């Protein structure tokens, strides 16, 4: 049963690989925003941003299965799908971002983005933002600063990583501030590094504060920091692993919401609807500078099967109107969550854009004391009621609300009803 399975998992997995729950259901299939366990019980998946088109998407599944039967090989061969997919991806990006590298995951994409920036500039320092998660490889882990994911994150940084404050206007030092307060601080840090003889190769940030709790960056933030890093000869890297591909509703890329164009974009997750696929997109000129110093080849990045998955996902976005749907349901869900906030004092804020929302629980709306234990207990109770949900943020007090983008309004209503019930009845 499910308990046996988790015991076997714990016995063979390294301890660090935690499950979402202490006693998780054993899931075996899914469709759209729903998951089904081995006893036939259905759950609403409110946390899955790997499958924007939902579970069991036939278009993607059939395309990949057909491709696997015909041909799958490493990406050095000459076949159509990888070229077609790279062209379609490049078309989605503004000029001059037209040059594509294909990989398998977000960590790989961020790592490669860093390598490209280091090689292209001939520098070694990187500026990253606090409360961020960028991946598990040596490079992407080095720029990951979230103490929720790694409690010693800030002390164990390699010396080439420089961390600037999170532009979180909801809590912390910058509470209530706008970009006018903290963008100059990050810019100042960049100029300071340059003056000290170690100008950064890059500034890396998510284009929306995903792992900090679904908090949008303040208007003008990236524009000002990107300008500073470029003035000192460095590059702007946008981590779009979570924010990209229509997650924010109105904007296909998170950087569009900030009105900027990065020099290097890292993307993954949604691209293959769960089939491993990631990418780095940059300019021809930056990629050429990488060529002089760097080596890159990925056996399965952009394989025939993953390229076909990438194409099938883009077809589905177009044919099903996924992004428009996500914007509409996201706005609806946010307004319903605001109604809940008016009735439940535990909800300190409803953050977010599109279908990346963060319901932040606080013990006191003035002190903003994080309701961390309560958040965990609420997630456990929601599971009993058929909703899969997880805490996020450095205080683990935010409901990471990021369901498949195809989620129906009825499901959004069900989630709000169950959350209302837990907050009313207790947990």
Interface residue list for ligand PMP (CB under 6 A): 105-107, 110, 133-135, 206, 210-211, 239, 241-242, 268-269
For residues 55 and 31, is the Cβ–Cβ distance under 8 A? yes
Of the pair 134, 171, the CB lying nearest ligand PMP is at 134
Determine the Cα–Cα distance for residues 409 and 215; give it in Å rounded to an integer. Answer: 23
Nearer to ligand PMP, 381 or 395 (CB): 395
Q: Considering the complex, what minimum distance in angstroms separates the CB of residue 43 from ligand PMP?
A: 21
Minimum distance of ligand PMP from residue 174's CB (angstroms): 21
How far apart are CB 104 and ligand PMP at their closest, in Å?
Answer: 8
- Please spell the DSSP secondary structure of 326-363, one letter per residue: HHHHHHHHHHHHHHHHHH-TTEEEEEEETTEEEEEEBS
User: Min. distance of Cβ 278 from ligand PMP in angstroms?
Assistant: 6
Q: Which is nearer to ligand PMP, 32 or 402 (CB)?
A: 402
Residue sitting closest to ligand PMP (CB) = 106
DSSP alpha helices (H): ranges in 242-321? 254-257, 284-293, 304-320
Complete DSSP assignment for 133-172 = ---SSHHHHHT---TTT-TTTTTS--TTEEEE----SSSS
What is the rounded distance in angstroms from the CA atom of residue 219 to the CA atom of residue 26?
43
Minimum distance, C-beta of residue 79 to ligand PMP, in the bound complex (Å): 24
The secondary structure of 50-110, three-state, reads: CCCCCECCHHHHHHHHHHHHHCCCCCCCCCHHHHHHHHHHHHCCCCCCCEEEEECCHHHHH
Closest CA to 48 of 58, 61, 39, 57: 57
User: CB of 269: closest distance to ligand PMP in angstroms?
Assistant: 6
What is the closest distance, in whole angstroms, from the C-beta atom of residue 270 to ligand PMP in the complex? 10
- 187: nearest Cα among 132, 228, 126, 236: 228
Residue 144 near residue 171, CB atoms below 8 Å: no
The smaller minimum CB distance to ligand PMP, of residues 103 and 422, is found at 103
For residues 110 and 126, which CB has a smaller minimum distance to ligand PMP in the complex? 110
User: Smaller CB distance to ligand PMP: residue 133 or 182?
Assistant: 133
CB closer to ligand PMP out of 199 and 254: 254
Of the candidates 10, 204, 224, 9, the one whose C-alpha atom is nearest the C-alpha of residue 109 is 204
């Amino acid at each position: 049963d499910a308990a046996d399975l988790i015991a076997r998992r714990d016995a063979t997995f390294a301890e660090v690989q935690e499950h979402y729950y202490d006693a998780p259901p054993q899931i075996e299939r899914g469709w759209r925003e729903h998951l089904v366990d081995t006893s036939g019980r259905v759950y609403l998946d409110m946390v899955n941003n790997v499958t924007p088109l939902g579970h069991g998407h036939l278009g993607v599944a059939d395309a990949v299965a057909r491709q696997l039967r015909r041909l799958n090989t490493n990406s050095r061969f000459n076949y159509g799908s990888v070229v077609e997919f790279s062209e379609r991806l490049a078309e989605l990006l503004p000029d001059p971002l037209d040059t594509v590298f294909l990989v398998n995951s977000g960590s790989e994409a961020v790592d490669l983005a860093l390598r490209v920036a280091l090689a292209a500039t001939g520098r070694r320092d990187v500026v990253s933002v606090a409360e961020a998660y960028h991946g598990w490889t040596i490079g992407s882990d080095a720029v990951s600063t979230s103490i929720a994911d790694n409690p010693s994150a800030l002390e164990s940084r390699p010396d080439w990583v420089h961390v600037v404050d999170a532009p979180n206007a909801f809590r912390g030092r910058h509470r209530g501030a706008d970009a006018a307060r903290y963008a100059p601080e990050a810019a100042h840090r960049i100029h300071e590094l340059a003056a000290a003889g170690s100008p950064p190769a890059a500034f890396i940030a998510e284009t929306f504060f995903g792992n900090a709790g679904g908090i949008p960056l303040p208007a003008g933030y990236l524009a000002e920091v990107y300008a500073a890093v470029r003035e000192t000869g460095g590059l702007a890297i946008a981590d779009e692993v979570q924010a990209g591909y229509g997650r924010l509703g109105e904007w296909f890329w998170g950087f569009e919401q900030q009105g900027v164009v990065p020099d290097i974009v890292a993307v993954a997750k949604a691209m293959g609807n769960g089939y491993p696929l990631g990418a780095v997109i940059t300019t021809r000129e930056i990629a050429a500078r990488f060529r002089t110093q760097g080596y890159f080849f990925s056996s399965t990045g952009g394989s025939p099967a993953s390229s076909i998955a990438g194409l099938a996902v883009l077809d589905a976005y177009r044919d099903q109107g996924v992004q428009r749907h996500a914007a509409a349901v996201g706005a609806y869900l946010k307004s319903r969550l605001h109604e809940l906030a008016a009735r439940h004092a535990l909800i300190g804020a409803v953050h977010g854009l599109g279908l990346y929302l963060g319901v932040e629980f606080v013990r006191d709306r003035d002190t903003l004391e994080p309701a961390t234990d309560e958040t965990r207990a609420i997630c456990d109770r929601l599971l009993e009621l058929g909703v899969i949900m997880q805490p996020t943020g450095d205080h683990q007090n935010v409901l990471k609300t990021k369901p498949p983008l195809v989620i129906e309004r009825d499901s959004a209503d069900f989630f709000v009803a169950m959350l209302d019930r837990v907050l009313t009845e207790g947990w």
